[in-house]
Chain A
Amino acid sequence: MAALTWLCTACYDGHGLEPGTDNLSTPGITGIISFEGSWPDSTREVRVAALRHFPHGLSENTELINFMTTAFLTGDLVFSDTLALFRNQVEYSLDLAPGEYKWIVVAWFPELDDYLQGVKELGAYTNTSDETDEPQSITVRDGQRITGININANLIHINRDRPFFEWPGDAE
């Protein structure tokens, strides 16, 4: 009888986990950034940036910086809070409005007065179905907090001349 009672009790216990029971109803992404290479003393801050569009047709550094500024003002570019520095791995969380984001990058900023001019991409959330390491877009649904958007970032890229890597040519 005890066994039967237990069985009956179990039958009224619902379906267990439910959507939203993780209290992560704010749309956005979370993940872990793994850093490789040596941290330079000139580091001012590092942030994760999500962009709705690629800087299509732009090549000059100045144009790219302007693109970023405009995108930030229009909400097409969203930055995370500054990440903890001088660590090999750090977790991040970024609130985003629902929609598609073409480009999730880790951005490094130098200790300069005009630090936006020295921004460098350390790594991007990449496509895994091929070996091109092309940026992987994500779509955030309403009420969805996407986890596992993990990015490998290499600090050696701060020595590059250009702020960003290449992006897909057919991108908007």
Chain B
Amino acid sequence: MRLAANCMKFIILIVSLSTLPLHAQKRTSIEGFVLNSETGKALYGCNVSVKGTLLGAATNTQGHFIIEGMGTGNYTLISSMIGYERHTLPITVEPGSIQIIEIRLTSAPIIGPAVIVTASKRQQPLESTPISVDVVRGKDIALRNVVSVDEVLANSAGIGVIDGQIDIRGSTGFNWTAGSRVLLLLDGHPLIGGDTGGINWDAIAPEEVEQIEVVKGAGSALYGSNAMAGVINIITKAPSTTPETRYKLTWGFFDKPAYDQWAWTDNFLMTQLADNNLSFSEALSTKGISLTHSRKIGRTGIRLHMTQRSSTGYQQNGDYSRLNLMAKSRTDLGKGRLLNISGGWSVNNHGDVLQWESLQAPLEVPANELGNNVRYEKMFINADFRQVLSETFGITAKVNGYHTFWENDFYDNNDQAKNYRLGAELQTDRIMGKHTLTSGIELITAGTNSDIYGDRSTWDGAVYAEDQWQPHPSLTLTMGARFDLHHVDSIGTDSQISPRIGAVYKTWQGGLWRFTAGRGFRAPSIAEIFAQIIVSGFKVIPNPNLDKAERALSLETGFHQMAGWPDLPLNPMIDLDAAIFYSRYDNMIDVQVADNESAIQFANIGAARIWGIETRLNTAFLNRKIETSLGYTWLSHSRIKNNDPLPYRPRHRANIGLAANWKGFFCGVDYRYASRAEAVANIYPNDPRVAMHVMDFRAGHSWNRYRISIEIKNLRNYHYTLRQRFMEPVRQFFITFEGLLGANATFN
């Protein structure tokens, strides 16, 4: 405790130092355009920053940028964007001068992102990040019929998704959606349920996602609880500068299962066709419509989005009806001040499938569970204000609120819960010579009022600081820590210190070596401590002794290489990443059978060890007309006490992607493999399961303001489970039509 107090004093000192008053400076600004050097087209989304300062801007759809708040003197502008060489430009800013700069970027063997924002809570080049980061690009989502954002994450190396629960490198496995060892952020704001601490993907409309950053490894040094195994930051699309409206219509249907005896209804479309009894209204199908409008009014850019989706599902109780509303505004207040406000509301009425009836009827549920239904509402509102107070000092203030409400309509319970999570954070970023210091303070309160949890609340307080030091142009060192206090009513208060160190060394052209070591933690959620419920015969009882946070020590070292050979035939480019990682978990929280063997409960089950290797190779040919991706993760996992494997963790996981585009035509194949999990929670006496082999196919054409595409998910109609007695989706066919309205709007 004494160590904790000293650490806290140290962190508070650093936070205080970084907020010292600043010298007023005479400010000016520069502006310009960023263009493609080969085509002369404006480049949208290019990051232009001023070296050695916090100043920067992103280009709009016209390729225009403006950077305010500069003093006079000599500077270097750095322009970076996915797929282009980094461009540096020395400039001299004189008093009263107005400079309009034209920057031309040339293609480069950079397949991944140029700039990320999640690893250090601020914008930074990928090559200065000491930890593994995967990025899902907006176009990877746009070209697929993505119903839920987690679907696209399943195509990333080392990431598994079970029932919406994210497993990064074997960290989570599956714990029945109570608690997540991965923190979900929406534009930098936590989006974690106040009751379970879990992730609700259907609060986010996939159409609004610009980029997803996945930081693998302990992130608690900056983000605290839940980030013990990683952070996923979903960055939504920015409002456009010119009026733009986008619409999208989707319709799809489910194929029959591979075995006739599993076809539980005659309303599979293929059955209807075979019986000459086609009825689109009764066929098992999915339909969706979305509408987005964006424009700028004065200094404020706004973006409004609506999605309505409904589906009969492919199995009994598999139906759902969802409505998503999202809004976002970005106001440039001038003088380096930026205000972002976003909000959303969603409602999902869906059937509930806890378990199949039997393997003879795996798409049916037990008769008494037929009709089980859940209504789930989510509402969030986030706001952040950023101000660059000087070239080397900036502050960010954030507030966020997340409210969820769910209500069961089950045969054996009508439980409901109202949950909230409120947070506030003040962050400062300061550049001091070769040091960049990020520090902040965060306060969180969460609570629930529920039949099954009671009336409960928690609060958290934290301070953090991280310094990035560049003693040599090829070497970047990172060191930081976060101190957290976590209080649960009627249980008590716990404190955690989560330090992290890291190093990045640039080896040669396009190559780097990285190392990071950090501690992470996750406080037990309200659901894990207090849940008391009987669902379909499963009795869950509370565990008031669950008062210890689970902790992890994580190590990782890796190598990253980018290279391109533009003069060779096919213009090959590669982006290679390889990592070895190790984590030791203490006081791990998981489901266990209670002492009297009459119920299950969440408990600290002891220590566990997870280590493995991960490789990722992205290649591109013919100026990215053809792209491939290959990822493979090997995992070793066991409880330290008895060497038993941890549940729901496949030993091998691989993904392959092939994509091609030419003159507006595009097609692609995704393949995902996970070996059969060696262990699952010991809930059922037996559990049939196989390895996962899933292949998706897509093709389409974009022309001007229109795009049409088809997609076949689970092309091989492969039948598998990821959790016990729940059959994953059968083959599905989709057709999607999209259109744009707006002066400069185009898909090409």
Interface residues, chain A, with chain B CB atoms under 8 Å away:
2-3, 6-7, 10-11, 13, 15-24, 30-35, 87-91, 93, 125-129, 136, 138, 141, 143-152
Contact = CB atoms under 8 A, between A and B. Distances in A.
Interface string B330-370: 00000000000000000000000011111111100111111
Interface stretch (B132-140, B171-179, B221-229, B682-690): B682-690
B720 A17 contact: yes
B34 to A, nearest CB: 35
B597 interface: yes
18 contacts: A10-B695, A15-B719, A20-B359, A21-B359, A21-B688, A22-B359, A32-B537, A88-B599, A89-B598, A90-B598, A93-B685, A128-B411, A129-B371, A138-B367, A145-B358, A146-B361, A147-B356, A149-B368
A87 B598 contact: yes
A88 B600 CA distance: 11
Nearest to A9: B693
B539 interface: yes
Given A6-B654, A128-B367, A147-B356, A15 B598 contact: no
Contact of A148 (B259, B365, B673, B685): B365
B654 A136 contact: no
Interface string B640-671: 00000000000000101010000000000101
A91 B685 contact: yes
Interface in B37-72: none
B628 interface: yes
B367 A151 contact: no
B400 to A, nearest CB: 39
Interface of B: 258-259, 261-262, 354-362, 365-372, 410-412, 534, 536-539, 596-599, 628, 630, 654, 656, 658, 669, 671, 673, 684-691, 693, 695, 716-721, 725, 727
A128 B685 contact: no
Nearest to B619: A3
A160 to B, nearest CB: 21
- Give the residue among B360, B671, B691, B719 with the most A Cβ atoms within 10 A: B360
Contacts of A10: 671, 673, 693, 695, 716
A169 to B, nearest CB: 21
B366 A150 contact: yes
Given A7-B656, A33-B537, A148-B357, 12 more contacts: A6-B673, A10-B673, A10-B716, A11-B716, A13-B693, A15-B719, A20-B360, A87-B597, A147-B366, A148-B356, A152-B534, A152-B537
B684 to A, nearest CB: 7
Provide the main secondary structure of the chain B interface.
loop
Contact of B370 (A32, A35, A129): A129
Given A3-B630, A19-B360, A147-B725, A31 B537 contact: yes
A126 B725 CA distance: 22
A47 to B, nearest CB: 17
Given A24-B359, A147-B357, A19 B718 contact: no
A144 B361 contact: yes
Contacts of B365: 148
B500 to A, nearest CB: 35
Contact of B596 (A30, A88, A91, A125): A88
A93 B686 CA distance: 12
A125 B368 contact: yes
Contacts of B656: 3, 6-7
B221 to A, nearest CB: 37
A93 B358 CA distance: 13
Contacts of A147: 355-358, 366, 684, 725
A146 B596 contact: no
Given A7-B656, A128-B370, A144-B360, A16 B718 contact: yes
Contacts of A33: 537
A151 B370 CA distance: 15
Contacts of A148: 354-357, 365-366, 369, 536-537, 725
B371 to A, nearest CB: 6
Nearest to A139: B367
Contacts of B370: 128-129
Nearest to A128: B411
Given A88-B596, A127-B368, A16 B539 contact: no
B358 A146 contact: yes
Contacts of A88: 539, 596, 598-599
A94 B684 CA distance: 15
A128 to B, nearest CB: 3
A128 B372 contact: yes
Contact of A144 (B358, B599, B658, B721): B358
Contacts of B690: 16-17, 21
- Give the residue among B261, B368, B658 with the most A Cβ atoms within 10 A: B368
Contacts of B654: 6
Nearest to B598: A88
B359 A19 contact: yes
B628 A3 contact: yes
Contacts of B359: 17, 19-22, 24, 145
Contact of B671 (A7, A19, A21, A87): A7
B718 A34 contact: no
Contacts of B597: 87
Nearest to B686: A22
A34 B412 CA distance: 11
A10 B695 CA distance: 9
Nearest to A36: B534
A89 B539 CA distance: 7
Contacts of B727: 17
Contacts of A15: 258-259, 716-719
